[in-house]
Amino acid sequence: MIIAIDGPAGSGKSTTARLLAKKLKFIYLDSGAMYRAVTLFFLNNKIDISNSVEISSALNEIDLSIEYKSNNFDVLIQKINVNDFIRSDVINENVSNVSEIFAVRKKMVELQRIFSSNKDIVVEGRDIGSHVFPDADYKFFIQADIKVRASRRLKDSSTNAKSIDEMCRLLLERDKIDSNRSISPLIQPKDAIIVDTTLLTIEEQVIKLFNIITNN
């Protein structure tokens, strides 16, 4: 069974997806972490993202793998765990630009489908239900008020944002890029179940999705 969870940054989708997978005893796949890992690789190797030759060479060189350990999702680049390096502001500022590159998305979608093959899995991202797994057994679109999203993100120790207003601006900029990119934009799949998490705790979010799945 494949459960697709999409939504913008700070909506609560990542934590909800991870805890839902644990509750269902499914595997959890964080597609956004994969794009962040590629972004880290590009930055560390000074890849010019406007140069298709450099991008192609980098994608051929990169060895991206994932490991599942007690419901934890670890991303490895060249066999090295990069989880502690992919949530920084510099990655936040560059990941959208890297993610909209056709060759990058093509490779990530291929890997996501390979990683998910023949598994009971919860996959979260921005184009999971609309593009990666259009035939997913369940599709959820998670959304929340922008100030609530900003407040959640400010609790993340990896951000340098100092105020709600600054974080709102950063999130809105990210939303604009994600929603307007030509390849696999952030959209609400027509057949997705919409879940507004503005007034919900993480526990309530997980229970809501769990009940929808197990009651059908």
Section 44-67 average pLDDT:
95
Q: How confident is the model at residue 139 (pLDDT cuts 50, 70, 90)?
A: very high
Domains located in the chain, CATH noted = 2-209 (3.40.50.300)
pLDDT of 178 reads: 86
pLDDT at 157 over 70: no
Q: What is the pTM of this model?
A: 0.88
The single-letter code of the amino acid at 151 is S
Give yes or no for a contact between 168 and 181, defined as CB atoms under 8 angstroms apart.
no
CA separation for the pair 22, 135 (Å, rounded): 22
pLDDT of 16 reads: 94
| Mean pLDDT over the full length of the chain | 92
CA separation for the pair 36, 23 (Å, rounded): 26
